[in-house]
Each structure stands twice: as structure tokens, then as C-alpha cells.
């Protein structure tokens, strides 16, 4: 994936005002900011709440005027972030990392789990400008946890597939089961897979793509502090590549050569934690 040059100005936080908040589910919100960072699908920003923390967040959308993020309120920082209102100021720096790529008029198979639905929507929106055709598989625990369904259903040249663990909507089971079925019956020689979601989902996508010899690009995420290659917290074994610079979007061969993929990750102090 193309590695970006990071200008000094992008490394320093600038404040942006929240223009709009949207509640997606009980734990998930989308914030739209009053500015753009010129981000591409798959890239991330470092989001700073003064006095609380600074965390990485995928760009859910950036149309050159406004940037959007979609987040789960899971811990100290994101629960504080969830209390923010329209008009509040938030620090953003970036955009950082690699982005998804495709060729004009290509067929893309997009696989999304969790907050991955947001960057997958951004990728879909941009790929349609290049005449691509899309199949998108979104998975969630249940119907009430599905994200971006309205936006994805409204896209042209797109077939949306839904999977829920409890069978409350679409396929009863995992989104990767839908992918497995699709790869056995439908894919064309031009198909590529783009995926963003939990690592156990990415592991299954990676195995399926490899077994069917379909090129894939996966968003491979680790604990990030600086976001631009300085601290080394996001390096992976054994290559030592920094996922904030050479990733997070990597081709499947690079992901599969990473021995810790699906096995363990490192926490804030660099200690190994098993999945």
C-alpha cells in the first residue's frame, strides 16, 4: 500500500468543532467536524480530548469539507468523548497511515465488522467514483448493532449482504461465512477484497482470500501512541514494520507473514497480550 509523507503540520493537533453528532446504536456515535484533513479511506487520525487521552480513530468519511469518525464508547476516553456535544472543540492530527487502493471498474468485495462498517462505507463511496461494482458484507451481533446499513443500501452498483450472530437480520452467523459462500460461487478474476473489523474476523478473511487466491487488503491495527512512526509501539513481529506508517492497510501476503497476526498484540506498555 502506498506510504504517505507526513508533513509537520499533520503531526501537530489542531482543534475542530463538532458540527453534528449522530447516535448510531446505544454504544456508537458518529461525529462530523467542521473541517477536512484530506484523508483517504483506510487512514486514521489521532483524536485528542484535552486532559483525558489521545487515541487512534479510523476516518469514517472525508469529503474535503468535513471529516467524520464513528466510535464505540468502550473505555475512559471514548466514554468521555461520547459526552461531547455539538459545538465542542476536539483535537485532531493526521491523516496517518496507508489507505485502500483499487483499479477503475474493479469488482470489490468489502467485509466489515464492528466500527469497520464506517471506513468500508468511505471506501465504497470513493470506489464508486472510479466505476467499481461492489458487494458489501456487514456483520454484527444482532440487528440492533448493525452500522451504516441505511447509507450502504443507498449506494448504486452495490449489493449489500447482512449477517447477524443471532439471526435477527440476514444470514444467521458470521459475515465471513457469507464471504466463504461468495468466493466459492461468484467472484470474478478482477475481484479484490477489502476488510476492516476485529482481528478474528480478519484472520478468517485472510485465510479465505489466500485459499481462493483472491487479493485482499486488511486494516491491521495495534496500540498506537504517536501515529507517525516515532515511538515504535505499533511494530509487529517479526518484520518490525510500524502499523501507523506502513499500515494499517496492508496486503494479505504482508499480513500473513506477521507471526503475531491473530495470536497476540502489545498493550500500552509493550507487553504481549494473547487474543
Ligand X SMILES: Cc1cc2nc3c(=O)[nH]c(=O)nc-3n(C[C@H](O)[C@H](O)[C@H](O)COP(=O)(O)OP(=O)(O)OC[C@H]3O[C@@H](n4cnc5c(N)ncnc54)[C@H](O)[C@@H]3O)c2cc1C
What does the radius of gyration of the chain's CA atoms come to, in whole angstroms? Answer: 18
Q: According to the binding rule CB under 6 A, does residue 232 interact with ligand X?
A: no
- Exactly one of 111, 196, 226, 250 binds ligand FES (CB under 6 A); that residue is 226
Q: Which of 161, 109, 119 is nearest to 140 (CA)?
A: 161
DSSP string for residues in 156-197: TTEEEEEEETTSSSSEES-HHHHHHHHHHHT--TT-EEEEES
- By CB under 6 A, residue 39 contacts ligand FES: no
Position among 6, 37, 49, 57 found at the interface with ligand X (CB under 6 A): 57
Residue nearest to ligand X (CB): 75
For position 95 contacting ligand X by CB under 6 A, the verdict is no
- Does residue 76 belong to the site contacting ligand X (CB under 6 A)? yes
Burial class (CB within 10 angstroms; exposed 0-12, middle 13-18, buried 19+) of 272: exposed
199 contributes a contact to ligand X by CB under 6 A: no
In the bound complex, what is the minimum distance in angstroms from residue 205's beta carbon to ligand FES?
23
For ligand X, which residue of 18, 77, 82, 128 counts as binding (CB under 6 A)? 77
* Residue 123 and residue 209 in contact, taking contact as beta carbons nearer than 8 Å: no
Angle at 8 between CA 7 and CA 10, to 5 degrees: 70
Q: Contacting ligand FES (CB under 6 A), which of 145, 242, 256, 265?
A: 242
Q: Which residues bind ligand FES (CB under 6 A)?
A: 224-227, 229-234, 242, 244
Amino acid at each position: 500500500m502506498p506510504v504517505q509523507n507526513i508533513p509537520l503540520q499533520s503531526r501537530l493537533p489542531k482543534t475542530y468543532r463538532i458540527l453534528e453528532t449522530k447516535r448510531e446504536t446505544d454504544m456508537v456515535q458518529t461525529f462530523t467536524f467542521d473541517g477536512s484533513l484530506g484523508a483517504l479511506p483506510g487512514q486514521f487520525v489521532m483524536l485528542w480530548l484535552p486532559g483525558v487521552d489521545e487515541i487512534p480513530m479510523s476516518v469514517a468519511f472525508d469529503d474535503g469539507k468535513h471529516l467524520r469518525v464513528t466510535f464505540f464508547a468502550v473505555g475512559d476516553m471514548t466514554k468521555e468523548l461520547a459526552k461531547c456535544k455539538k459545538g465542542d472543540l476536539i483535537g485532531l492530527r493526521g491523516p496517518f497511515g496507508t489507505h485502500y487502493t483499487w483499479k477503475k471498474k474493479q469488482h470489490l468485495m468489502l467485509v466489515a465488522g464492528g466500527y469497520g462498517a464506517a471506513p468500508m462505507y468511505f471506501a465504497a463511496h470513493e470506489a464508486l467514483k472510479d466505476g467499481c461494482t461492489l458487494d458489501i458484507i456487514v456483520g454484527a451481533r444482532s440487528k440492533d448493532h448493525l452500522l451504516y446499513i441505511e447509507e450502504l443500501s443507498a449506494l448504486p452498483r452495490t449489493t449489500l449482504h447482512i449477517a447477524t450472530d443471532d439471526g435477527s437480520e440476514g444470514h444467521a452467523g458470521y459475515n465471513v461465512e457469507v464471504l466463504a459462500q461468495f468466493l466459492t460461487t461468484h467472484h470474478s478474476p478482477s475481484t479484490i477484497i477489502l476488510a476492516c473489523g476485529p482481528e478474528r474476523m480478519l484472520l478468517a478473511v485472510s485465510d479465505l482470500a489466500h485459499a481462493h487466491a483472491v487479493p485482499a487488503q486488511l486494516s491491521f491495527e495495534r496500540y498506537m501512541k504517536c501515529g507517525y512512526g516515532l515511538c515504535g509501539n505499533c511494530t509487529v513481529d517479526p518484520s518490525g514494520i510500524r502499523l501507523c506508517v506502513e499500515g494499517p492497510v496492508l496486503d494479505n501476503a504482508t499480513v500473513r507473514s506477521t507471526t503475531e497476526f491473530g495470536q497476540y498484540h502489545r498493550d500500552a506498555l509493550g507487553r504481549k497480550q494473547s487474543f
